[in-house]
Structures are given as C-alpha cells and as structure tokens.
Structure 1
Amino acid sequence: MDNSESWLEIGRIVAAQGLKGELKVMSSSDFPERFEKPGTRWLQSPDRLSIQEVELVRGRYVPGKNLYVIKLAEIADRTQAETLRDYTLLVPSSDRPQLNEGEYHVSDLINLTVYHQQTGEEIGVVTDMLSAGNDLLEVQLNTLNSSENTSSKKVLIPFVYEIVPVVDLVNKRIEINPPVGLLELS
C-alpha cells in the first residue's frame, strides 16, 4: 500500500514496555481486535511523512487505562521500541468494521454541521469526539448567529439519543435538542 491510501488511526505508541520490544499503545479505536488479532498494521512517523508496514504478533488490553501492550515482529528489544514513541498505528480505511444502526465512526462525525432541531438554527461544526464516561461531541460554535465573539468557543454535547436524535451522514448534518443552558456553557 502506498501513502495515497486512506488510513484510519487506531492508536498512538506512548512508551516501550519491558525489555523484549513490546509497546504501549493508547487506543483511539473501539475495536479490541485491532490490537489483539495478529496481522498486518502500519506505522506512521510523528512527522506524518512516512508509513511503513509492520506485523502485529500479539496484543493484550491493560484494564482501566485504555492501553494495549503489543508486540511487533520487527521490534526485538526495548531500544528499538523506544524509537517508535509517538508513532501512530494505522489500518486502511477499507478495514472499517460494519456498525449497527445508531453507531458511527468518529471520523464520519468530524466536520458535520450541527443544527438545533426545534429552530433549524445552525449551531456549529463537530470538531472532535471525547470519551468521558460517555461520548461527547466537541462543537465549534457558529459565529454568524451570535452577537458575542464566539470564534473560538466550543461546547461539549453529550452524544446520547435524547440530545442528538438525528445523525444524517448523507447530508452531513446533526440535529440536537439541547437542554436549556447547554450551549451557553463553555
């Protein structure tokens, strides 16, 4: 595969683990098999200029830390492992798992426009998804409909059906029913 391939980030290497070349990976995926099932993965350098193919030999979850410890065939010792700190672990976009109705890939939500379902008012744009017990949409507020300077104001919106009843990927929009005061919080 070449660098023109579309990639999904599944984690970032944060440290070496032990003396035998294992790596600690901070997961950005909800799919454990990406770290536990042996097979081909790709590493992207911190400067994002190069992508190299690697072979995942094994992996295990570290409970309570959102970390996996993985072993790559090409990495034999701690010294080699330490050189991979801040590298990103990737899979091709074509390897995206099928989701059930009402489930979404985070990358599909980024840059969707958010509207107030009752008024139709454009509220802003999704810039990130954060996990804090439950998922939160980070939304950059729209400056067009506000007298305040909100050019850098972001709000976190709980990604639950009661507040976010409509996610329309085809039309690139999300509709929300925010509780009173939610959009005024910063």
Structure 2
Amino acid sequence: MEKMFNVGKIVNTHGLMGEVRVISRTDFAEERYQKGSKLYLFRKEATTPEELIIKSHRKHKNFDLLTFEGFTNINQVENMKEGLLKVKESELGELEENAFYYHEIIGCAVYTTDGTLIGKITEILSPGANDVWVVKPEKGKEIYLPYIEDVVKEVDPAESRVVIELVEGLLD
C-alpha cells in the first residue's frame, strides 16, 4: 500500500447536516480540503481506509469544517469521530524552494552551526507569521525554534538534519 500522510483528525460533528470538525495537521488546508479533493478516513477501529470526496469546506474558530459527498446528516458521520484523515504520498504535489512538508521536518535532528546536537523536532506549530519547530533535547525542556532565515540555516530532509544559528535567548 502506498505511504499516506496525516492531514487532520475528526474531533466531532457540527450541526445536523453531516458536517465534521477537523483539527488540521496540514499547512495546506485550502488545497487539501477544496471541493472534490480525495481524502482517506482511518476510523478508530477500522483496518482499512475509506475514500472520501470533499463536498464543502469552511473555517470556524480553530477548526476546519468539512462535509463529504454521500454524507448528508449527523447520523452518517457520528462514527467518524476520532478518525484520521490522510492523503496518499503521490497526491502531495511539488513545493517551492525552502518549503517542506511537516512529515519531512518532524523527526529531524537539530544541530548548531558548530555541530552540537540540540535535539529532535517533535512538532510544528503554526501560530502566525512563521512556523515554530518544537525541539525535544535529551534532557531539559522543549525548545521553540522560529522557522526564519536568521535561525534556520540548513534543512536536509534526506539526511534528517537541520542546522541552526544560536541567537541570543533561543535556549533560555
């Protein structure tokens, strides 16, 4: 089976017309959730994915609200709760230079420009103007790296390696 990547998690239903609330795990929500796009639902207890076609998408607070073709009421989507929405690797598309998919970054080892290992990237946050990469060192608390030119100097997903410039206050 082709490799698949998580783009969201269904956390609840919304209203009575078959809409679901999704916590998005993609930085390409507009592309992933556009009408006619294909996603694969991995229900909590199921062993095989279910193909879904997006009928509608809108934003509401911190959620993406989706409806799927063939699902028109709450009773049909109630059992989708806790399900993961995924996309096939072949459907990812090309990125511009210095842009990366989350799955390419999460798990990368982070080194300083002098070669010191800082830790591994465990999560990516998208709070505003730039992403923030969460780095877990072997000891101590998490470090929050802003994905900006002044800090991130080199990203090599093939080698699972990121090189950063330590700026004042970054490790405090």
TM-score by length of 2: 0.88
The corresponding residue for 1:164 is 152
Q: Does 1:106 align with 2:102?
A: yes
The corresponding residue for 1:54 is 52
Shift of 1:21: 1.1
Shift of 1:83: 1.5
Shift of 1:53: 1.6
Go from structure 1 to structure 2 and tell me whether the alpha carbon gap of 1:67 and 1:128 turns closer, same or farther (over 3 Å shift).
Answer: same
The corresponding residue for 2:7 is 10
Q: How many residues align?
A: 170
Aligned pairs for 1:48-87 (under 5 A) are 49-56=47-54, 58-62=55-59, 65-87=61-83
Offset from partner CA, 1:8-35 (integer Å, 9 cap, x none): 1111112212212122222222221221
CA distance in structure 1 between the aligned counterparts of 2:3 and 2:131, rounded to whole angstroms: 25
Percent identity of equivalent pairs: 29
Structure 1: which 5+ runs fail to align?
143-149
SS of residue in 1 equivalent to 2:148: coil
Aligned residues: CA RMSD: 1.9
TM-score by length of 1: 0.82
Which portions of structure 1, spanning 4 or more consecutive aligned residues, are displaced by more than 3 angstroms?
47-50
Correspondence for 2:120 among 99, 102, 125: 125
Offset from partner CA, 1:64-87 (integer Å, 9 cap, x none): x34322221232311222221111
The corresponding residue for 2:18 is 21
CA distance in structure 1 between the aligned counterparts of 2:156 and 2:32, rounded to whole angstroms: 27
Offset from partner CA, 1:110-132 (integer Å, 9 cap, x none): 11111111x21111111111122
Shift of 1:48: 6.7
Offset from partner CA, 1:138-177 (integer Å, 9 cap, x none): 11114xxxxxxx1x63211111111001112232211101
> Could you tell which deviates more after superposition, 98-107 or 78-87?
78-87
Is contact 1:59–1:68 with CA below 8 Å preserved after alignment?
A: no
Go from structure 1 to structure 2 and tell me whether the alpha carbon gap of 1:40 and 1:60 turns closer, same or farther (over 3 Å shift).
Answer: closer
Is contact 1:25–1:69 with CA below 8 Å preserved after alignment?
A: yes
